[in-house]
Chain A
Amino acid sequence: DQQVKQNSPSLSVQEGRISILNCDYTNSMFDYFLWYKKYPAEGPTFLISISSIKDKNEDGRFTVFLNKSAKHLSLHIVPSQPGDSAVYFCAAKDNNDMRFGAGTRLTVKP
Chain B
Amino acid sequence: DSGVTQTPKHLITATGQRVTLRCSPRSGDLSVYWYQQSLDQGLQFLIQYYNGEERAKGNILERFSAQQFPDLHSELNLSSLELGDSALYFCASSSRAGFQETQYFGPGTRLLVL
Could you list which residues of chain A lie within 8 angstroms of chain B, going by C-beta atoms? 32, 34, 36, 41-46, 49, 51, 89, 91, 93-103
- In the complex, what distance in Å separates the CA atom of A17 from the CA atom of B33? 36
Our count of residue pairs bridging A and B at CB distance below 8 angstroms stands at 52
Question: Which chain A residues lie closer than 8 Å to B58 at the CB level?
Answer: 97-98
Question: Which listed residue, A42, A46, A96, touches B103 by the CB 8 Å rule?
Answer: A46
Say what secondary structure dominates the interface of chain A: strand
A89 touches B99 (CB 8 A): no
Question: Which listed residue, B2, B4, B99, touches A98 by the CB 8 Å rule?
Answer: B99
Residue of B nearest to A36 (CB): B105
Question: Which chain B residues lie closer than 8 Å to A46 at the CB level?
Answer: 102-104
- In the complex, what distance in Å separates the CA atom of A51 from the CA atom of B99? 12
Residue of B nearest to A43 (CB): B105
9 residue pairs A–B, Cβ–Cβ below 8 Å: A43-B90, A44-B90, A49-B102, A89-B42, A93-B100, A94-B99, A98-B33, A98-B45, A100-B44
